[in-house]
Amino acid sequence: MNLPDYFEPVDFAAVAAGTNPLGKYSLGPEIEKTTLKFVQSNLSNIDAAIIGVPVENGEPQKNGTPDKIRTALYKLAAFDNNLIIADLGNLKPATSAKGTFLALRDVIEYLREINVVTVILGGSQDLTTGICEAFKNERFFWLATVDSILDIKKGTEKFNSTNYLTRVFKNLPNLFHFSLIGYQNHLVGEKLISQTRGIGDHLRLGQLRNDFTNAELLLRNANVVSFDMEAIKFTDAPSTLQQNPNGLRSDEACQLARYAGLSTKLNVFGLFNMFENTKSTNCTTINLGAEIIWYFLEGLAGRTIPGEKTVYKVAIDGLEHPVIFRHEEETNRWWFEVQSISGETLEVACTQKEYQKAAENEIPGRWLKFVQKMDGLSK
């Protein structure tokens, strides 16, 4: 594919206009230099590609949110290491929502093939539908969303960013794992959340705050993270439609983004649903969006080549084979191995507590759930 045909290139002069206290030490000059240097023929030499998708529920976005995020992002500090980032510009408008989804699918498929992480500046969260289309043939596709609600249909309403997951689940019937992170129980309810329990793990806002590392487990295996700015409390992100009095704090949002960046399996990170809901010139939400992207990129810069893992085989009464755990001493991270009836194996992020439970002759609940899920793939 001819990738530049899909995009309106960035006007770096316009984006860089205004006061920039960091000057040459800011991220903008580095991104501009990389973008001008790496044409499509050697795009595989970059680590991450930023793309803007100014589309809201199938219609062109009028307030130019991606460019506003760029302006704020480019003024933040450059990274000390050799993280190579290019900005491909904004996706050209399609004549329909389906056309936008297909174009987004094509771009992500291409960037995945050359091992480049995609960072998406939205736009509304229904764009996640197009992102997921790029993983339709992925055997073990993991999707994680950071959201205060579960975006599925509650009736016969028209397709939009509040129910896009209904289409994702329908189009990807073999979706291996789905996680909803930071949801609020009074906005979702147990009856609704129970409709997805067979697909994956979910983390309520209170559970997240009780032990923030639980989110890292869910993000470590994710291929795609779709981040809804409406998951953040209104006082920290006022330019959103939901205006939730409760929600993620700004620092928590940045920490989640950093966890996502650190995941070596993650291919796409998308930030969505920043809408102007007042005539205020307050730039808090845009600035926070830029910081979330910055912390994702910092996590990406901190990715390490997987180190040597110590293998522990734990025999448990009632199980024919031992449960296999792996521990990476350098990062103190743990995984367990699950295997299907047909012999396929998969490493799943876990905690040291799960290993200790197994060592005490107790079958870990998450391990059993994933074994059952793997067996389901073999049927």
| Contact between residue 104 and residue 224 where contact means Cβ atoms under 8 Å apart | no
SS3 of residue 325 by DSSP: strand
* Alpha-carbon 207 to chain mean position: 19
SS3 173: coil
pLDDT (0 to 100) of residue 13: 87
Domains of the chain are 3-301 (3.40.800.10), 309-378 (no CATH)
Q: And the tokens for 356?
A: 């200790």
Mean of the pLDDT values across residues 270-286? 75
What are the beta bridge partners of residue 7? 91
- For the segment 95-110, the average pLDDT, to the nearest whole number, is 96
Q: What is the layout of strands, in order, in the sheet containing 7-8?
A: 7-8, 85-91, 48-53, 117-122, 268-272, 224-228, 142-146, 177-183, 202-204
For residues 305 and 296, the model is more confident at: 296
142-180: pLDDT as tens digits: 999 999 999 998 878 899 999 999 999 999 988 999 999
First to last CA, the chain: 37
CA distance 99 to 340: 37
Nearest residue to 375 via CA among 346, 333, 341: 341
69: closest CA among 366, 274, 235? 274
pLDDT of 20 higher than 70 = yes
Cα–Cα distance for residue pair 37/55, rounded to 1 Å: 28
Measure the CA angle with vertex 254, ends 248 and 257; round to 5°. 105
pTM score > 0.85 for this model? yes
- Cα distance between residue 59 and residue 301, in whole Å: 34
Whether the pLDDT of residue 379 is over 70: the answer is no
- Using the 8-state DSSP alphabet, how is residue 318 labeled? T
Q: How many CB atoms lie within 10 A of CB 41?
A: 7
Judged by DSSP in three states, 123 sits in coil
Query: Does 35 score more than 80 pLDDT?
Result: yes
In this predicted structure, the answer to whether residue 349 has a pLDDT above a threshold of 50 is: yes
- What is the longest distance spanned by two Cα atoms in the chain? 67
**What is the C-alpha separation between 82 and 71, in angstroms, rounded?**
22
Position 311 scores a pLDDT of 97
Per-residue confidence (pLDDT) for residue 215, from 0 to 100: 95
**Token pair listed for 374:** 């793997």
Confidence grade of residue 198 (pLDDT, cut at 50, 70, 90): low
Using CA atoms of 113, 303, 88, 230 in order, give the dihedral in degrees to the nearest 10.
110
Q: Which two tokens stand for residue 378?
A: 């073999």
Distance CA 307, CA 35 (A): 32
Please give the DSSP secondary-structure letter assigned to residue 343: S
Closest CA to 167 of 158, 373, 176, 260: 158
Q: Is the distance from CB of 117 to CB of 269 less than 8 angstroms?
A: yes
Mean pLDDT, the chain, whole residue set: 91
